[in-house]
Amino acid sequence: MKDFYIRDCQQHEGQAVTSNFVVASKQVKNKKNGELYLSLTLADHTGQLQANMWDNVSDALNAFEQDDFVKVKAMVQKYNGRWQLTIHKLRKLADNEIDYADYLPKTSKDIDQLWRTLGEFVESLQNPWLKRLVQDFMADDAIAKDYKNAPAAKTLHHAYIGGLLDHVVSLFTVCDLVCRNYPQVNRDLLLTGAFLHDIGKIHELAYQRSISYTTQGQLLGHMIIELEMLHEKLAHIPGFPDELKILLEHLIISHHGQYEFGSPKLPMFPEALMLHYLDDLDSKMESMRAQFERESELEAPWTSYNPSLTRPLLNTQKFLAKGGATPARTAPAEPVAEELFPEPDRTSLSESAGDVADATAVSPHPAARLDALQQKFASHKPTPVGAKPE
């Protein structure tokens, strides 16, 4: 068992630590004076960390490779708001020194139960073609084994063993709930798209020692892999409708939603649009949850910078527990959640932006502003349908 994990950086700032890691990436770079240094990404089951070795590089240069396990002595420092290690000594670990449980994170949920939940959703599908297709995937032992264990991403979200299944079950649950509010959405098509949208990750990512890309993943990406997997399964289902095939292909290639995010096509029908947004929502909510968990021991409600979301995050539980106090103003001594978030008048929620701006300008304190806003709502008459707002 390791004594120091990446999540412990805050408690060891400016201190020397000795610990074991897996090398997620290794690069040999040049300093400004032309000398070599090592730029590494080290990982354990709590996360990843940038590490640099500036001195005695020649001794360590060929002593290890990417995906090897190493023991390092290093200084914990923060640079540009992010934790990193400055390595003083490094050696490769022998096989008998490795406890694999220290290095790859794993879902805390019961994987077998997640798989059963997924199967229950599939049983509820009404379209026989789509139901047969998903069942054929789930009945493939090789695919099922990998689907249960693969991460959903390298770093951005659900980046742990079982992350793909965890993500898809969560996405199924959200899709099932949201499509009830939109009767025009084909639930079977949406859920089938959710099952297929990341299935290529089982071949795109390697996760034996650290989470990294396979050669196939680097060259093709999971969308191309998914199309190949889909076509292989459809070849064993005679008569599968061409219209359904085209829709499934579009769900796969459009689910990233934007060209700059890797989608060759934008979502062009309701189920594709919903899949994109709900997939993006589930991914971002997991990214936030993981950030809060990593920094749970910190008292401050604001997290460090989240690179995937490109912003720091506010932990609202910590913020409310502290009374919402900030250096800029003093909150009540014992604020109550009901005071900060009064129940809105559900009969008058069609206010214009001007109404909100007027009401919130009444007082500098959140509770007072919301109280004024509620009074504003109570006296407001909704604009009739079809009428031009004032």
pLDDT surpasses 80 at 344: no
Rounded average pLDDT over 289-309: 83
Question: In the chain, which ranges are E strands?
Answer: 16-30, 36-44, 47-53, 69-79, 82-92, 205-206, 212-213
Residue in this structure with the two tokens 């003093």, named with its chain if needed:
330
CA nearest neighbour of 22 among 206, 295, 238 = 206
Distance of CA 7 to the CA centre of its chain: 17
Gyration radius of the chain's alpha carbons = 26
Q: What is the pLDDT of residue 19?
A: 94
Quick one: pLDDT band at residue 191, thresholds 50, 70, 90? very high
Helices (H), 20-162: 57-60, 111-123, 128-139, 141-149
pLDDT band with cut points at 50, 70 and 90 for residue 158: confident
CA distance 67 to 109: 26
User: Does 160 score more than 90 pLDDT?
Assistant: no
Question: How far, in Å, CA of 12 to CA of 279, rounded?
Answer: 36
Distance (Å, whole) CA 93 – CA 389:
70
Please tell me the distance from the alpha carbon of residue 67 to that of residue 23, in angstroms, as a whole number: 5
In tens, the pLDDT along 224-274 reads 999 999 999 999 999 999 999 999 999 999 999 988 888 899 999 999 999
pLDDT at 96: 85
pLDDT for 80-135, tens place per residue?
Answer: 778 899 999 999 998 888 877 777 777 878 999 999 999 999 999 999 999 999 99
In order of start, what are the domains of the chain with their CATH numbers?
A: 6-102 (2.40.50.140), 111-288 (1.10.3210), 323-383 (no CATH)
Strand partners, 49: 42
pLDDT at 379 over 70: no
- Region for residue 345 given its phi and psi (left: phi exceeds 0; alpha: psi -120 to 50; beta: otherwise): beta
Helix (H, G, I), strand (E, B) or coil at 184: coil
Contact 81, 304 (CB under 8 A): yes
**Two tokens, residue 255:** 């689910």
Those residues with Cβ within 8 angstroms of residue 75's Cβ, 6 or more apart along the chain or in another chain: 14, 15, 16, 17, 85, 86, 88
Whether the pLDDT of residue 49 is over 70: the answer is: yes
Residue type, 95: D
Mean pLDDT of 46-60: 88
Considering the chain, what is the average pLDDT of its residues?
81
pLDDT at 193: 98
Q: Rounded distance, CA 274 to CA 294, Å? A: 30
So what's the pLDDT on residue 279? 94
Torsion sign, CA atoms 308, 309, 311, 314: negative
HEC profile of 72-111: EEEEEEEECCEEEEEEEEEEECCHHHCCHHHCCCECCCCH
Residue with tokens 């978030």: 341
More confident residue, 337 or 258: 258
Angle (deg, nearest 10), helices 128-139 and 187-196: 20
